[in-house]
């Protein structure tokens, strides 16, 4: 009879991509993980993994075995987690993927409150604007915004779509004038992420329906915070979420450009790698982010300054 623990070690090795990563996830030395997989191969009478000095890869038999076993192992892990947690408090390590400037927007006080409430909970944030593979990097949850590509990942919507608007500083408009038509945006400095040809396509909705214009500029940056600061500094016209710059508009530090045009984003999502039961600790973090997001997008109360929106700064995640 197969050793279920060995099968679980094999599944974790495939999901993380290496013996070392699986060992960290399982709390075992890498050589122990490697030995358990080798023993499983001997028991099955076939090689499951091709090993090299650089990486592991599945054999045909390994792929078939993994595909047949992964759901069952995840069910067992979920059942174990549910029984272990019972009615207790969230505990353990949660690894979350967010964009590099996440904590420029998200209130760290919320994290402090969560950790104070649950002393056995530990949070690890992977901050990066690069694509993050949730399985390979052992990510429990990622917070993403925009339109999600089709994948095997599970997404839970945390907020509705938000409006992006065109805007610039009064200083920029005094120097360069304001475009009278969408086509004239191509003649202005527009703030985009770095692109191969130095230009990007902006798709907007206006009185005549959906339109597209190819824009570029002399300053490009791949984070929303950098683009917001660049617009404030007069470096060009930006296409930014209305909630993010609402206070700038009220204070007239920024002004609308072609206000009849805008773009809707796809909303904010919590994304995780499995449809199985979400661990209590992961659910607790998602709840905190969703609650903070609701407050940020609700706008200011009477006598208060505007909150900064969280939704779009997460756009480049993964």
Instruction: For 18-54, give one letter per residue: b (16+ CB within 10 A) or e.
Output: bbebbbebbebeeeebbebbeebbeebeeebbeeeee
CB neighbour list of residue 259: distance below 8 Å, 6 or more residues apart:
165, 166
HEC assignment per residue over 208-274:
CEEEEEEEECCCECCCHHHHHHHHHCCCCEEEEEHHHHHHHHHCCCCEECCCCCEEECCCEEEEECC
Q: Answer whether 260's CB lies under 8 Å from 206's CB.
A: yes
Tell me the pLDDT tens digit for each residue of 145-167: 766 665 667 878 887 777 899 99
pLDDT band at 87 (very low <50, low <70, confident <90, very high): low
Domains and CATH numbers, the chain: 4-85 (1.10.10.10), 92-160+266-314 (3.40.190.10), 163-264 (3.40.190.290)
pLDDT band at 308 (very low <50, low <70, confident <90, very high): very low
pTM of the model: 0.61
Summarize the confidence of residues 15-41 as an average pLDDT: 88
The lowest-confidence range among 15-24, 25-34, 38-47, 288-297 is: 288-297
Q: Is the model's pLDDT at 141 over the cut of 50? A: yes
Tell me the pLDDT tens digit for each residue of 255-286: 999 999 999 876 778 888 876 668 889 999 99
pLDDT band at 316 (very low <50, low <70, confident <90, very high): very low
Closest CA to 15 of 156, 24, 2: 24
Tell me the pLDDT tens digit for each residue of 172-191: 999 999 999 999 999 999 99
Q: Answer whether 198's CB lies under 8 Å from 220's CB.
A: yes
Alpha carbons 230 and 248: distance in angstroms, whole number: 13
Q: Is the model's pLDDT at 46 over the cut of 70? A: yes
Alpha carbons 236 and 272: distance in angstroms, whole number: 37
Alpha carbons 224 and 192: distance in angstroms, whole number: 9
Q: CA 99, 102, 103 angle in degrees (round to 5)?
A: 150
pLDDT band at 294 (very low <50, low <70, confident <90, very high): confident
Pick the more confident residue, 310 or 150: 150
């Amino acid at each position: 009879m197969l050793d279920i623990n060995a099968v679980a070690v094999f599944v974790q090795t495939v999901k993380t991509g290496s013996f070392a990563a699986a060992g960290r996830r399982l709390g075992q030395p890498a050589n122990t993980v490697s030995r358990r997989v080798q023993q499983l191969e001997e028991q099955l009478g076939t090689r499951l993994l091709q090993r090299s000095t650089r990486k592991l890869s599945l054999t045909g038999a390994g792929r078939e075995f993994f595909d047949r076993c992964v759901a069952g192992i995840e069910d067992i892990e979920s059942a174990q987690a549910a029984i272990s947690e019972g009615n207790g408090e969230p505990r353990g390590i949660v690894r979350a993927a967010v964009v590099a400037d996440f904590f420029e927007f998200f209130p760290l006080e919320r994290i402090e409150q969560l950790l104070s409430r649950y002393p056995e909970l530990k949070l690890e944030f992977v901050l990066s604007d690069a694509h993050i593979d949730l399985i390979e990097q052992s990510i429990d949850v990622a917070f993403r915004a925009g339109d999600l590509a089709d994948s095997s990942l599970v997404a839970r919507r945390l907020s509705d779509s938000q409006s992006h608007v065109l805007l610039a500083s009064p200083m920029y408009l005094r120097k360069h004038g304001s475009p009278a038509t969408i086509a004239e945006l191509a003649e202005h400095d527009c703030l985009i992420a770095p692109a191969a040809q130095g230009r990007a396509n902006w798709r907007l909705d206006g009185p005549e329906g959906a339109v597209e214009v190819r824009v570029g500029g002399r300053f490009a940056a791949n984070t929303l915070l950098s683009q917001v600061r660049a617009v404030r500094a007069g470096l060009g016209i930006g296409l930014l979420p209305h909630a993010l710059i609402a206070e700038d508009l009220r204070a007239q530090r920024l002004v609308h450009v072609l206000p009849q045009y805008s773009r809707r984003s796809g909303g904010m999502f919590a994304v995780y790698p499995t449809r199985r039961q979400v661990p209590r600790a992961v659910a607790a973090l998602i709840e905190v982010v969703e609650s903070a997001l609701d407050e940020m997008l609700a706008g200011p109360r009477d006598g208060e300054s505007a909150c900064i929106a969280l939704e779009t700064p997460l756009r480049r995640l993964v």
